[in-house]
Structure 1
Amino acid sequence: MAGRGGTARPSICPTLLYADATAAIRQLTEALGFTELSVYETQDGEVLHAELVQGNGVVMIGSKGRGGLFETVLRDAGPAGVYVAVDDVDAHHRRAVEHGVEILMPPTEQDHGSRDYLARDTGGNVWSFGTYAPEIGG
């Protein structure tokens, strides 16, 4: 989907809440290769909303404990699982290990042709990084 200036805009953005959103952003950027698109904070440094980019996808991050309907309906939802396509799974995995990320499965060849690994972040969410990227035809 094209946006202003011909730039692509993702149509699906996972949204995750963390008890320590600042630590989550640090882990996702430093250890798992995301890039900060935007971070909005309160005057005391609490993360109100952040957007992190990986390839052509975006994940939205917020802080738990702020209240509101979104947090209320997510209260019993549990952690999320998010898949992210990366070019070099082994290099990505090495970076995660170097930063102390909890690895649930090392890089493994899958029956469907992808090479994936699984990791858990500071909020308990499970991230799957792999070489498979779905193609959306037109």
Structure 2
Amino acid sequence: MSDNNNPGVWPCVIYRDAEKARVFLTEVFGFTETLTVRDGDTIAHAEVKWPEGGGVMYGSGKGHPDWPQPVPGTQWICVYTKDPDAVYERAREAGANIVLAPYDAEYGARNVGIADSEGNVWTFGTYAGA
């Protein structure tokens, strides 16, 4: 059983520049850095947690040689939040690429779409899933 401290699903995002992504994820989006493993100057593996629950793993594009690797900048991640407008304001003030300004979806959720430092799209919204 998973809880907010130990997410049961860990999306994994590959970055060309994981150090720049670390700063973006924590300072712009508001994730909390919980683990960073370096291989020299490169982030080999890192984990961040969302204050409202869940977490994301990320790292540089080396990965496991037997696993297919996603192309950096082509991923889409959805994050539940009670206040997508606050995430939007932080991202806007930081000069982030706003893909979709805050909007109310026909199914009742409020969402915002923001591209991270390498173009992955993150949707922050009030829909917590069915």
- TM-score normalised by L of structure 2: 0.89
Q: Which residue of 1 aligns with 2:108?
A: 113
Task: Please identify which structure carries the higher helix content.
Answer: 1
Deviation for aligned residue 1:134:
2.2
Aligned with residue 37 of structure 1, among 31, 34, 37: 34
After superposition, the Cα gap between the structure-2 partners of 1:77 and 1:125, relative to the gap in structure 1 and judged at 3 Å, is: closer
1:98-137 to structure 2, matched below 5 A, reads 98-134=93-129
Task: Please say if residues 72 and 118 of structure 2, whose CA atoms lie closer than 8 Å, have aligned partners that are also in contact.
Answer: no
Aligned length, in residue pairs = 129
Cα distance per residue 1:63-96 (max 9 Å; x no partner): 01466233xx125586111100112111110001
Mind listing any 5+ residue stretches in structure 1 that lack a counterpart?
none
Which amino acid in structure 2 is aligned with residue 59 of structure 1? V
SS in 1 for 2:86: helix
SS in 1 for 2:100: strand
Deviation for aligned residue 1:122:
1.6
Deviation for aligned residue 1:45:
2.2
Aligned with residue 59 of structure 1, among 48, 56, 60: 56
Which amino acid in structure 2 is aligned with residue 34 of structure 1? F
Which amino acid in structure 1 is aligned with residue 77 of structure 2? V
Q: Which residue of 1 aligns with 2:85?
A: 90
- TM-score normalised by L of structure 1: 0.84
In the TM superposition, structure 1's runs of 4+ consecutive aligned residues that sit over 4 Å from their partners are: 75-78
SS in 2 for 1:69: coil
The CA RMSD over aligned residues, in Å, is 2.0
Percent sequence identity over aligned pairs:
35
Distance 2:95 2:59 in 1: 23
Task: Please say if residues 104 and 110 of structure 2, whose CA atoms lie closer than 8 Å, have aligned partners that are also in contact.
Answer: yes
Cα distance per residue 1:29-62 (max 9 Å; x no partner): 00001110100112x2210100011121110011
Task: Please say if residues 73 and 118 of structure 2, whose CA atoms lie closer than 8 Å, have aligned partners that are also in contact.
Answer: no
